[in-house]
Amino acid sequence: MYKILLLGSVFLFGVHTQVVEKCRTDTFPPSEDTKLPTVIVNLNNAPENRWDDAIKPYKDDIVKLIQTITDNLNKYVLDVADVAFDLLLTTLPQPYQSEIKGVAKVLGLPEGQVALYNIFYELFTVCTSIIGEDNNGQLYHARNLDFGLFLGWDNGNDTWLMSERLRRIVVNVDFQRDGKTVYQSASFLGYVGLLTAVKPSQFTLTVNERFNKEGGFIGIYRWILGDRNAKWMGFLTRDVMEGANSYSEAKDILMKQELLAPAYYILGGNSTGEGVIITRSLDEVKGVEGLNITSNRWYLLQTNYDPWDEPPFFDDRRTPGNICVKSWGQQNLGTKSLFNVLSTKPNLNKLTVYTTVMTVRDGIQSWLQNCKTPCTPW
* pLDDT score recorded for residue 2: 38
In a domain, 68, yes or no: no
Give the H or E element holding residue 165.
Answer: helix 161-166
In a domain, 94, yes or no: no
Cα(first)–Cα(last) distance of the chain, in Å? 15
In a domain, 338, yes or no: yes
Percent residues over pLDDT 90 in the chain: 72
In a domain, 117, yes or no: no
Q: Is the pLDDT of residue 82 over 70?
A: no
Give the total residue count for the chain.
378
65: nearest Cα among 159, 158, 150, 167: 167
* pLDDT score recorded for residue 7: 38
* pLDDT score recorded for residue 120: 76
Q: 157-166 pLDDT, tens per residue?
A: 788 888 889 9
In a domain, 299, yes or no: yes
Q: pLDDT higher for 10 or 285?
A: 285
Task: Examine residue 200 and say whether the peptide bond preceding it is cis (omega within 30 degrees of 0).
Answer: no
Residue 324 among the catalytic residues: no
* pLDDT score recorded for residue 214: 66
Q: Which of 231-235, 296-300, 315-319, 354-358 has the lowest average pLDDT?
A: 231-235
pTM over 0.85: yes
Among the options 127, 324, 371, 375, which is catalytic? Answer: 127
Nearest-angstrom CA–CA distance, 121 and 192: 11
How sure is the predictor about 11, in pLDDT bands with cuts at 50, 70 and 90? Answer: very low
Nearest-angstrom CA–CA distance, 336 and 27: 8
* pLDDT score recorded for residue 16: 58
Whether residue 38 contacts residue 366, with contact meaning beta carbons closer than 8 Å, is answered with no
Residues near 235 by beta carbon (within 8 Å), at least 6 away in sequence: 92, 93, 96, 192, 193
* pLDDT score recorded for residue 72: 67
- What total number of domains does the chain contain? 1
Nearest-angstrom CA–CA distance, 157 and 109: 29
Q: pLDDT higher for 209 or 3?
A: 209
* C-beta neighbour count of 67 within 10 angstroms: 12
In a domain, 55, yes or no: no
Q: Which of 117-121, 204-208, 236-240, 320-324 has the lowest average pLDDT?
A: 117-121
Distances (CA, A) of 172 to 39, 196, 293: 6, 10, 31
CATH number of residue 11's parent domain: 3.60.60.10
Range of the domain at 29: 2-46+126-368
In a domain, 91, yes or no: no
* pLDDT score recorded for residue 124: 64
Mean pLDDT of 329-342: 98
In a domain, 355, yes or no: yes
* pLDDT score recorded for residue 158: 80
Mean pLDDT of 55-76: 83
